[in-house]
Structure 1
Amino acid sequence: MRNSLPPARSVPGFLLTVAGAILFSTKAIIVKLAFGSTHVDALTLLTLRMVFALPFYAAAAFLVAGQKSSAKLTQREWLLVIGLGLCGYYLSSLFDFIGLQYISAGLERLILFLYPSFAVFINVYLFKQRITAVQKGALLLTYAGIALAYFGELRLDAGNPNFYLGSFMVFLCAITYSIYIAGSGWVIPRVGANKFTAYAMLAATGGIFVHFALAGNAQALVTSKGLWAYGLALAVVATVLPSFMLSQGLKRIGANNVAIISGIGPVSTILQAHFFLHEKIFFEQICGTALVIIVVLLIGWKRKPAEITVNAN
């Protein structure tokens, strides 16, 4: 099945994706601030994030389920939504939070942005989508910028004994998140953006709560001063709002374009990390950032939106 995206949907989709990516990029800053001031562990902070996010997604799920036009999900669709939710917002978030304990926010965001190529390749080989010449060039520029900045960070932070562990955990985050992005681009046209987001996040929240019940530190939720404020900020600013924005972006411009436009995330994180966490900005970061900005311009202001081809089987 082929969907040709009209310009009227392309511009709002681009704007929603950029805004969502920037809000998502605040997550690393908030997490690093929480780790530095409360000494909370990754699982506890992730659980608190979802405690505050749960009412929003429960309300959204209730609203979309009550709509007359809302079609019931098939068993296969339920399994896909639950599986993608667990992969994209439970496993991915857990790996990310663990990694942020050991590496800088700027480096975390750079490693995480390996996911666009993973998502594009999944779409190409599994869902038989076409990748355009513009997208190929954008990917090359994105990864040239990320590689340049990464090796610059490696030079500065190589003395960190947990540097490679943190990098590996965020790499796993990139893999699981790319599966979510690619899969959601296929599922959303069938179940709807809001329904998919609400149900996927509820599934992820259930997975996190079960994990915390089995292995978490409930005492930290009470004794860590200021922890709840960080949890609220993570839930609303860095989770609820951007997740719905990106889902709408996926609906309007397709998974490949969302994956590449979201390259603005490292730019936003690096700047925020400099001002709020006092992380250094160095020459390689500046050059890499410039390449990522070029990618955003290529995708956002191209004359004709890409044709997205989805395998209906």
Structure 2
Amino acid sequence: MQTTRTFVYGVFLGILGIVLFSSKAVMVKLAYQYEVDTISILLLRMLFSFPFYIVIAYLYRHQNKEAVIKNKHYAWVVFFGFVGYYLASYFDFVGLTYIKASLERIILFLYPTIVLLLNRFFLKQPITKIQGGAIALTYLGIVIAFWDEVAISGNDTYIGGFFILLSAITYASYLVGSGWLIPKFGVVTFTAYAMIVSCICVFIHYSIISKVDLFSFSWEVYLLGFLIAVFATVIPSFLVSASIKMISSSNFAIVAGIGPISTIILASIFLNEVLTLLQLFGALVVIIGILLVSLKKPKTKE
């Protein structure tokens, strides 16, 4: 059946997008081995991404002609681009200077539970008992993996974990707050606009605080910056959008469970990172918790 083929294709695109997204942390850690600072590698990511999003924004500028878009809506796009892609990315890149790529992905994977909590406190959306138990389970898994890493790597793990958690919180805030804007602009256009805002924020940040010569890095740093921009940012962002359109956001949330697993595997291959059995158990607990949060009861047909 065509529906089955579409679903399978959507799952494949989702898995590919998640694996490519997961590669970002590994490539950032590889770049840090060449003594590049956080804002410089973030700048390279945005510099290489910027032309793609400019072209995409132009091509899709009339995607949603019937929507009434006011100046205040563009102001909110600027705000959410600042929070969701600039701040979240910056906190993530800073955190990666302190902790393993695999642990970063485990902590970052908390964002669906943070979305639930933000919806509960600000939008008064109820949390079911199953969701509440799942949230508790995910944080238990984080505690297990995190404290074992503290015992191994020392207090820097606290700093790294704090910044990655900030990244998860800011990204979750973006997801909660921008939901009403996406139907007005269309998902592709909104993503492109938000990323353009994020790029400009990084350009301003770099111009104010950085004294590093952008042309002083080794060729490996520029290559990694390009790969992060294209294969861990631009391409997966649209693969994920296509996947969600084909299989629904609920099914995609289940597919996204492969994220921490793929990061652990990639970090093991390219960074020689090894998680302890206790950390692997913690990661498994987190994944199970997120799946429970994401699962929705299927609607039965008469």
- TM tier, shorter chain? 0.7 to 0.9
Partner of residue 127 from structure 1, selected from 98, 123, 128: 123
Judging changes above 3 Å, is the alpha-carbon distance between structure 1 residues 294 and 164 closer, same or farther for their aligned structure 2 residues?
closer
Cα shift at 1:10: 8.3
1:275 to 257, 262, 269: 269
Structure 1 residue identity aligned to 2:20 = L
Q: What's 1:237 paired with?
A: 231
1:45 and 2:41 matched: yes
Residue in 1 that maps onto 2:197 = 203
1:78 alignment partner in structure 2 = 74
Q: Which residue of 1 aligns with 2:108?
A: 112
CA distance in 2, matches of 1:15, 1:215: 42
Secondary structure at the residue paired with 2:36?
coil
Does residue 84 of structure 2 align to residue 88 of structure 1? yes
**Kept in 2: contact 1:117–1:139 (CA 8 A):** yes
Q: 2:21 aligns with which of 4, 18, 24?
A: 24
The alignment of Structure 1 onto Structure 2 pairs a total of residues equal to: 297
Percent identity for Structure 1 against Structure 2 = 42
Taking structure 1 as reference, are residues 65 and 125 closer, same or farther at Cα in structure 2, changes over 3 Å only? same
Verify the 8 A CA contact 1:110 1:150 in the aligned structure 2.
Answer: no
Q: Note closer, same or farther for the CA distance 1:129–1:193 as it changes in structure 2 (3 Å cut).
A: farther
**Aligned counterparts, 1:131-150, within 5 A:** 131=127, 135-150=131-146
Q: Which residue of 2 aligns with 1:265?
A: 259
Secondary structure in 2 matching 1:69: coil
Label 1:186 to 1:199 Cα distance change in 2 as closer, same or farther (>3 A). Answer: same
- Unaligned 5+ segments in structure 2 are none
Which letter maps to 1:33? Answer: L
Q: Which runs of 5+ in 1 are unaligned?
A: 1-6, 306-313
Give the one of 208, 214, 219 matched to 2:208: 214
For the 8 Å contact 1:61–1:195, the answer to whether it is kept is: yes
Measure, in 2, the Cα distance between the counterparts of 1:16 and 1:184.
24
Q: CA deviation at 1:148?
A: 2.0
For 1:191, the equivalent position in structure 2 comes to 185
Per-residue deviation, residues 151-170 of structure 1 (Å, max 9, x unmatched): 22222212xx5332222222
CA contact (8 A) 1:261 1:296 kept: no
Amino acid at match of 1:163: T
Aligned Cα RMSD in Å? 3.3
Q: Which amino acid aligns with 1:105?
A: A
**Structure-2 separation of matches of 1:139 and 1:13:** 27
Query: Equivalents in 1 of 2:50, 2:27: separation in Å?
Result: 19
1:263, 1:292 within 8 Å by CA — same for their partners in 2?
no
Quick one: distance in 2 between partners of 1:15 and 1:189?
Answer: 25
TM-score, normalising length: structure 1? 0.81
